[in-house]
A and B are shown apart, each in its own frame.
Chain A
Amino acid sequence: MEQFLQNLFGQNNILVYISMAVPPLIFMIAFALAAVYMERKVSAHMQDRLGPMLTGWHGVIQTVADIVKLLQKEDIIPAAADRKLFILAPFVTFIGSYAAYACIPFSSQYVGSSISLGLFFIIAISSLVSVGLLMAGWGSNNKYSLYGAIRSVAQIISYEIPTVLVILTIVILAGTIDLQAIVTAQGGWFWNWYIFGGPGGWEKLILLPLMLISFIIYYVTSLAETNRTPFDIPEAESELVAGYHTEYSGMRFAFFFLSEYANMFAVSAIAASLFFGGWQSPFGDSIPFLNTPVMQFAWFLLKGLFFIFVQMWLRWTLPRLRVDQLMYVCWKVLIPFAFVNLLAVALYVVLK
């Protein structure tokens, strides 16, 4: 797609970059609307309720109505707030989430930026989110916000370690750090996905349990990084009102919300790309129609949405962890397992 745009607008025309950057933004907004609706419906039905039913058929335009409401809201900046930080924080958070989309391959023909450091870039830039959260918490000048922000940042930073270790196992296996290349390597039937050990002969069966552990660790850490239940202590309603965005209203609040849902999709997309073949059709090229770029996008979306569904599913299943339990899970369970896993996979790759 980038090549096509280069030819269309001329080499390195600014329009090329703009047209490359816009689709993820549109996707994010559309996705956030859909995901909020999905969240509400899934949670409602898991609690034997109906959820929004009045705005449109089964309440489908409920989130649009919510956004319209948020747009009209007064933008309140607390008198005692640190104005600059307070105003800037939602945008920093949003930039962090948005920039992560640059390297996510939506389809074989579209990836925002085909840099070869894709995964590294995603991990690095998504840490900007925690900076934004800390700015919001500090800038609000509110103890709940500050507590929420501190917890959030502590959580995200600790959980980045097992995440990176797990990603490293895949990188060792794939031999590349470019997400698009990792997805391309999983082509063919679904047993070529890394969750099933990636492409290879029968010897890859050794990898099956290792990959399962990797995936579970990645999934748990992704929940923690997006501050979702059971790791939602940064926004624990019962303890901290709403965490770092307590003082925010109107569109600034909407930006936090948008960024949160964008992050949810980003981690789900990475999970799908690393373990479940990203945009690859499960049937490979045996059914060519299912492997066209548009269908690839559909597969990608399907896999991403499935993981988001699981996130919601977990949210209504598990209670919130305590802070000490959170740290226990990270440092005493996930990191040792991730390390052993990494060593085992590295050993496999060396011996193969």
Chain B
Amino acid sequence: MSPIKKYFHDIWLGLYTIYIGMKITFAHLFTKAVTIQYPDERLQLPERERNRLFVNMDDCIGCDQCARACPVNCIHLDTLKAVPGDIVGRTGVTSNGKKKALFVPTFTIDIGKCCYCQLCVFPCPTECIYMTDVFEFSEYKRENLIYEFTDMTTEQTAEKKAKLEVYTKEQDEKKAAAAKAAAEKKAADAKAGAAPKTAVPPKAPSAVTKAPAAVVEETLKDPKAPASVTKGAKISPVEHEAPKVDIDDKKKEEPNGSKQDNGS
């Protein structure tokens, strides 16, 4: 192309391409805006969105599995054993009919720490901890991000604590009495009876292991205690592991993952 021809061609090309460009931008002037005016209109959230955690305390049995599953330790809960005859929460049962044997005086989730992994949700035997679709919870103070879910007041907690103390004392006395009685009986049997083998007195550790059985017997004998509570009373003597019995019954439980933590 000769320089002169190129010169005019360039000018023509310039004007023509401006025309094309302007046509495109003008068309865009009338296309619908893609803006979503956020606080007023919102996008549909995905079905499995993971946002703020919520705990439905009516269903919580205080099993601590969510706290153990949490990789960042943002869940913290305290439990208090329920005295036989005492009703935990409003009904004493979860919405799917599980007995509640533990009071939960504190159940805090530090959502500032939460990594939204949802690992706490699966182990929950009663499905009371779950992710909601609330994602706007900014706060001016970091402390405000620690959510307290329990509905128990400090007075209630203190009352339940006192009740439990009284009850455990009673139980200890009864246990001691029962142990004494058993020992006496065995001694009497040994004296009265035949084989010298049986005369061996019960070892110290075995006494401890036997204790729960003794308590169960006690509570069964107790006419006041309703049937439902007796089962719960199994928990009282030895340890935390007790509620796990309930959990293992649970049909919907997530098989693995979280369970390895329970052994700790």
Contact = CB atoms under 8 A, between A and B. Distances in A.
Asked if A and B are interacting partners, one says: yes
B200 interface: no
Nearest to B20: A317
Contacts of A216: 15
Nearest to A319: B21
Nearest to B23: A317
Nearest to A53: B37
B25 A316 contact: yes
B35 interface: yes
A332 B14 CA distance: 14
Contact of B33 (A48, A314, A316, A332): A48
Nearest to B8: A333
Contact of B25 (A44, A46, A333): A46
B204 interface: no
B37 A46 contact: no
A48 B26 contact: no
A48 B21 contact: no
Interface string B17-53: 0100110111011111111010000000000000000
A314 B37 CA distance: 27
B11 interface: yes
Contacts of A332: 7
A72 interface: no
Contacts of B30: 45
Interface in B205-244: none
A121 interface: no
A46 B32 CA distance: 10
Interface residues of A, number: 17
A45 B33 contact: yes
Interface residues of B, number: 18
A53 B36 CA distance: 11
Interface in A276-328: 313-314, 316-318
Contacts of A316: 25
Nearest to B22: A317
B34 A49 contact: yes
A42 interface: yes
A340 to B, nearest CB: 12
A47 B28 contact: yes
A325 B31 CA distance: 33
B34 A313 contact: no
Nearest to B19: A317
A42 B22 contact: no
A50 B33 contact: yes
A318 B29 CA distance: 15
A336 to B, nearest CB: 9
Contacts of B37: 50, 53
B18 A317 contact: yes
Contacts of A42: 29
B18 A49 contact: no
Contacts of B34: 48-49
Nearest to A41: B29
Interface string A27-47: 000000000000000101111
Contacts of B31: 48
Interface centre among A48, A49, A216 (most CB of B within 10 A): A48
B24 A317 contact: yes
B21 A46 contact: no
A127 to B, nearest CB: 28
Contacts of A47: 28
B33 A318 contact: no
B31 to A, nearest CB: 6
B33 A44 contact: yes
Contact of B35 (A50, A313, A333): A50
B2 to A, nearest CB: 16
B52 to A, nearest CB: 26
A332 B10 CA distance: 12
A341 to B, nearest CB: 14
B16 to A, nearest CB: 13
B39 to A, nearest CB: 10
Given A47-B28, A318-B18, A333 B33 contact: no
Contacts of B33: 44-45, 48-50
User: Which of B7, B22, B30 has the largest count of A CB atoms less than 10 A from its CB?
Assistant: B22
Contacts of A49: 33-35
Contacts of A44: 33
A15 to B, nearest CB: 46
B24 A45 contact: no
A333 B15 CA distance: 12
Given A44-B33, A50-B35, A50-B37, A313 B18 contact: no
A46 B35 contact: no
Given A48-B32, A313-B22, A332-B7, 17 more contacts: A42-B29, A45-B28, A45-B30, A46-B28, A46-B29, A48-B34, A48-B35, A49-B33, A49-B35, A50-B33, A50-B35, A216-B15, A313-B29, A314-B22, A316-B25, A317-B18, A317-B24
Closest 8 CB pairs of A and B: A317-B21, A50-B35, A317-B25, A50-B33, A46-B25, A48-B34, A45-B29, A317-B22
Interface of A: 42, 44-50, 53, 216, 313-314, 316-318, 332-333
28 contacts: A44-B33, A45-B28, A45-B29, A45-B33, A46-B25, A46-B28, A46-B29, A48-B28, A48-B31, A48-B32, A48-B33, A48-B35, A49-B34, A49-B35, A50-B33, A216-B15, A313-B22, A313-B25, A313-B26, A313-B29, A314-B18, A317-B22, A317-B24, A317-B25, A318-B18, A318-B21, A332-B7, A333-B11
